[in-house]
Amino acid sequence: MVAGLADGTIDAIASDHSPWDQDSKRLPFSSASCGIVGLETLLPLSLELYHNRHLTLIEVLRRLTVAPARILGLGIGRLAPGAPADFVIFDAGAKGRIQTETFRSKSKNAPFDGRPITGRVERTVVDGRTIFERRRVTVVLAVVVGYLLGSIPFGLVLTRARGAGRRQKNRLGQHRRDQCAAHRQQGSGGANLGVRCR
């Protein structure tokens, strides 16, 4: 399957999201309902193709967004003037582990429970409205993907927000402490800076 994605035999990646309640799954195999939760694991599992160097990041995103829309003949799958603002902001380097008990879906049946992953959705926007947000995103490297493809596919964009706000705050705090230390030596206590040094 990976080889098929790499050589273009397989055009698209889909989640086949088909959740079921626990009672419908806890049955003998032949009687259990078919399907698993796929939506919440789609991005991190697909990113394994990128992290394992089977596909470039652009190729992974193309197979998740532009390609399915083209196959289905839908006028969606990219950000463009007048189109719905549907996009996802994600951190491709965030490490974690799939934990089915934290799924937003009411269904928890997934064979990947406990699997280590690299990549995490930070925000989901549908028609311009944020419907999911993990935390505030401060630095977004989004437009690289869009420029390379001519538009941002399904708005999937790459973020390096993790720790950026903290680093900026630490830099500002250190700068202020350095200023205060210099003014203490001069005996001004920071009065010339208009800041209060402790």
Q: What one-character DSSP code corresponds to residue 33? A: P
Q: Which of 80, 60, 83, 71 is nearest to 146 (CA)?
A: 80
Instruction: Choose the catalytic residue: 16, 21, 86, 178.
Output: 16
Q: Report which of 42, 37, 35, 41 is spatially closest to residue 13, judged by C-alpha positions.
A: 42
Give the DSSP letter string of 135-169. S----EE-HHHHHHHSS-BTT-EEE--TTHHHHHH
For the question of residue 86 being annotated catalytic, the response is: no
End-to-end Cα distance, the chain: 62
Supply the residues annotated as catalytic.
Answer: 16
